[in-house]
């Protein structure tokens, strides 16, 4: 009998979304307790700022350029390594994935990919090393079609609600302020995906034997847009009471002044000349956001995060009721962040800043392991998760895992974190490589490949036709001193006083990038 593993993830959640990380507007006592009794990693970074690449890294323990899912729309090969399968094979673990997976494109009306076919056919596993896998996305209805096992459940049990779904990736005004993808959801709280998934997790745990070792990946779709928590929960946070977020410059003129110092697609996006269709809806322009729009979006996010926290408490209560708490490791994190008003933006996309790269990342080791609580400031990465799970299970990391088991204190063993971006739309062709080290965040813009085929033109030519006039020649970039400029408002890339810092970080970045997968996988869908 070994240690059990509860791996909890969210989608699109900022580092500062939790009380333990400074949030003043959202109560997260259950997650805060995990941090207080465990290890809070304050400089955890993802390997990509959108869903599929980041989630594939968590499953495989590999960098993006190794597993090959470099963008949303690139399906993870079905023979890709899986830490769940590894725990089954090497340590006899029972395994489950309950919630959002998104290892294969969600834009799949013909159910071409196994992940979506399973949902259509009522298949609950085994799949990718999980004995049991049941999926929910951010929505339950897309153009009249149910999405995921959850969507089919809503369609059957709440047909009136099913027909009223908030559209995803459509910036149509909603809510009380006309904010994009914002609504008061009429769904009963117990039928909302956060509570629905927590109930399924509790049921799965109840079905296990007392001596079973288990790995449960509980994957909440929130607080990803659409921002539509149950209307019954709106009392938790009134948008009228919120200030603008600290990362918002305060006025359109201030925003333009800051963005003008960054590479061209920043200001062009704000002013509507560049469409951020790789991270948000096509009909969204940041300069159209009012201050109240941003406040309402943030209020909805705070509500969704509070519901997640209560769901975590519900699952932890079951762990304690089974007498497992002393032998259960809990890791809580997310795939990527959300702008939430920083720089006047919302959504995610080709922006390598802490709002999207820096993650909430907490490991509450099993109390019986007797690992002291700590706050760790040195950088860690999503690629470190899989070898940590192996260490908890008492087995050596697999040879295909590229990270290292997480440090339990600031021991000087970690110096850097790496993040990458490669466009899924051939008409965009952006390629960014980033490194965080020694309090600096550097992003080098590699030469654009605008117009070069990448596979999308074979599958979705209408989307492959999307393009931009912005093209980078490889001399552009971003450099921030996060100690002096935590909001990343002052780009030091061209500052002669930081020339040696820039050169050193670029060299270190490329010295530590693993080789790129050959041949490169193709983009097969828009998302």
Residue-wise pLDDT for 68-120, tens only, equals: 999 999 999 999 999 999 999 999 999 999 999 999 999 888 999 999 999 99
Cβ pair 446, 472 in contact under 8 A: yes
Looking at the predicted structure, is the pLDDT value of residue 185 above 90?
yes
CA-to-CA distance for 157 and 155, rounded, in angstroms?
6
C-alpha pair distances (Å), 458 with each of 108, 449, 524: 15, 17, 8
**Average pLDDT of 501-514?**
98
pLDDT at 144: 87
C-alpha pair distances (Å), 98 with each of 113, 117, 133, 149, 219: 18, 17, 6, 10, 6
**Average pLDDT of 391-413?**
98
**Average pLDDT of 507-517?**
97
44-45/358-359 β-pairing: antiparallel
Q: Which of 207, 202, 163, 167 is nearest to 186 (CA)?
A: 163
C-alpha pair distances (Å), 219 with each of 11, 89, 134, 499, 523: 8, 23, 10, 42, 25
Decide: pTM greater than 0.95.
yes
**Average pLDDT of 461-478?**
95
Cβ pair 242, 25 in contact under 8 A: yes
24 CB-contact burial (10 Å; exposed 0-12 / middle 13-18 / buried 19+):
exposed
Three-class SS of residue 94? strand
Cβ pair 96, 202 in contact under 8 A: no
CA-to-CA distance for 214 and 192, rounded, in angstroms?
26
Cβ pair 426, 75 in contact under 8 A: no
Looking at the predicted structure, is the pLDDT value of residue 172 above 90?
no
- By percentage, how much of the chain surpasses pLDDT 90? 95
CA-to-CA distance for 190 and 198, rounded, in angstroms?
10
Cβ pair 130, 96 in contact under 8 A: yes
Residue 240 half-sphere exposure, CB side, CA atoms within 13 Å? 3
- The radius of gyration of the chain's CA atoms, rounded to the nearest angstrom, is 22
H/E element, 305: helix 291-321
Cβ pair 443, 433 in contact under 8 A: yes
User: What number of other Cβ atoms are within 10 A of residue 469's Cβ?
Assistant: 10
**What is the dihedral sign for C-alpha 406, 410, 415, 420?**
positive
440-445/477-481 β-pairing: antiparallel
Task: Name the DSSP letter for residue 437.
Answer: E
Cβ pair 173, 179 in contact under 8 A: yes
User: What number of other Cβ atoms are within 10 A of residue 246's Cβ?
Assistant: 11
- By percentage, how much of the chain surpasses pLDDT 70? 100
Q: Which residue has the tokens 């999308």?
A: 456
> DSSP string spanning 97-115?
EEE---SS-S--TT--SHH
**Across 127-278, where does the E strand assignment appear?**
132-134, 141-142, 145-146, 173-174, 179-180, 214-223
Superfamily of domain 4-247+286-412: Alkaline Phosphatase, subunit A (3.40.720.10)
CA-to-CA distance for 62 and 464, rounded, in angstroms?
28
Tokens of 162: 């099913």
* Confidence category of residue 1, pLDDT binned at 50, 70, 90: low
**Average pLDDT of 188-203?**
98
**Average pLDDT of 248-252?**
98
Q: Which residue has the tokens 């994190």?
A: 333
Q: Which residue has the tokens 């395994």?
A: 95
pLDDT at 148: 94
H/E element, 398: none
Q: Which of 319, 330, 362 is nearest to 19 (CA)?
A: 362
Q: Which of 404, 365, 397 is nearest to 381 (CA)?
A: 404
Compute φ and ψ for 8, nearest 5 degrees: -115, 125
**Average pLDDT of 468-488?**
98
266 CB-contact burial (10 Å; exposed 0-12 / middle 13-18 / buried 19+):
buried
CA-to-CA distance for 297 and 13, rounded, in angstroms?
13
pLDDT at 306: 98
Give residue-wise pLDDT tens across range 48-63: 999 999 999 999 999 9
**Average pLDDT of 373-393?**
98
**Across 86-232, where does the E strand assignment appear?**
94-99, 132-134, 141-142, 145-146, 173-174, 179-180, 214-223
Q: Which residue has the tokens 């927590």?
A: 198
* Sequence-distant (≥ 6) Cβ neighbours of residue 209 within 8 angstroms: none
Own/partner pairs for 155-160, CB < 8 Å, 24+ apart?
Answer: 157/191, 158/187, 158/188, 158/191
Q: Which residue has the tokens 């980033």?
A: 434
**Across 423-464, where does the E strand assignment appear?**
431-437, 440-445
For the chain, the average pLDDT equals 97
pLDDT at 89: 98
């Amino acid at each position: 009998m070994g240690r059990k593993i509860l791996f909890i993830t969210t989608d699109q959640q900022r580092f500062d979304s939790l009380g333990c990380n400074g949030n003043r507007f959202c109560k997260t006592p259950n997650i805060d307790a995990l941090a207080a009794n465990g290890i809070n990693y304050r400089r955890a970074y993802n390997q990509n700022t959108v869903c599929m690449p980041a989630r594939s890294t968590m499953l495989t323990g590999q960098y993006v350029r190794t597993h090959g899912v470099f963008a949303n729309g690139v399906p993870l090969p079905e023979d890709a390594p899986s830490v769940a399968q590894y725990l089954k094979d090497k340590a006899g673990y029972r395994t489950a994935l309950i919630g959002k997976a998104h290892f294969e494109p969600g834009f799949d009306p013909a159910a071409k990919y196994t992940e979506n076919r399973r949902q259509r056919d009522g298949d609950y596993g085994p799949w990718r090393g999980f004995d049991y896998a049941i999926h929910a996305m951010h929505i339950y209805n897309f153009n009249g079609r149910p999405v995921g096992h959850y969507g089919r459940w809503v369609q059957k049990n709440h047909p009136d609600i099913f027909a009223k779904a908030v559209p995803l990736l459509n910036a149509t005004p909603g809510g009380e302020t006309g904010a994009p993808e914002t609504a008061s959801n009429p769904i009963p709280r117990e039928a909302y995906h956060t509570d629905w998934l927590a109930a399924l997790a509790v049921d799965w745990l109840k079905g296990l034997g007392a001596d079973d070792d288990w790995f449960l990946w509980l994957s909440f779709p929130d607080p990803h847009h659409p921002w539509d928590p149950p209307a019954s929960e709106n009392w938790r946070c009134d948008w009228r009471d919120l200030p603008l977020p600290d990362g918002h410059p305060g006025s359109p003129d201030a925003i333009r002044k800051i963005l003008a110092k960054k590479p061209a697609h920043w200001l062009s996006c704000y002013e509507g000349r560049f469409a951020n269709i790789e991270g948000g809806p096509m009909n969204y322009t940041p300069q159209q956001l009012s201050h109240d729009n941003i406040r309402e979006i943030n209020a909805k996010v705070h509500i969704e995060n509070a519901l997640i926290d209560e769901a975590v408490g519900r699952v932890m209560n079951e762990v304690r009721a089974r007498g497992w708490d002393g032998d259960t490791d809990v890791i809580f994190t997310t795939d990527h962040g959300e702008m939430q008003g920083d720089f006047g933006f919302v959504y995610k996309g080709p922006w390598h800043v802490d709002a999207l790269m820096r993650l909430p990342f907490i490991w509450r080791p099993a109390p019986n392991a007797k690992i002291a609580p700590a706050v760790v400031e040195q950088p860690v990465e999503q690629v470190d998760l899989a070898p940590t799970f192996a260490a908890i299970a008492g087995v050596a990391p697999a040879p295909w895992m590229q990270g290292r088991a997480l440090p339990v204190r600031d021991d000087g063993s970690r110096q850097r974190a790496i993040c990458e971006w490669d466009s899924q739309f051939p008409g965009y062709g952006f390629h960014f490589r980033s490194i965080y080290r020694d309090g600096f965040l550097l992003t080098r813009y590699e030469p654009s490949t605008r117009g070069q085929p990448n596979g999308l033109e074979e599958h979705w030519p209408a989307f492959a036709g999307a393009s931009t006039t912005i093209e980078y020649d490889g001399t552009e970039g971003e450099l921030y001193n996060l100690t002096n400029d935590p909001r990343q408002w002052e780009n030091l890339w061209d500052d002669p006083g930081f020339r040696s810092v820039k050169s050193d970080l670029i060299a270190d970045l490329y010295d530590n990038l693993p080789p790129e997968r050959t041949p490169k996988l193709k983009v097969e869908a828009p998302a």
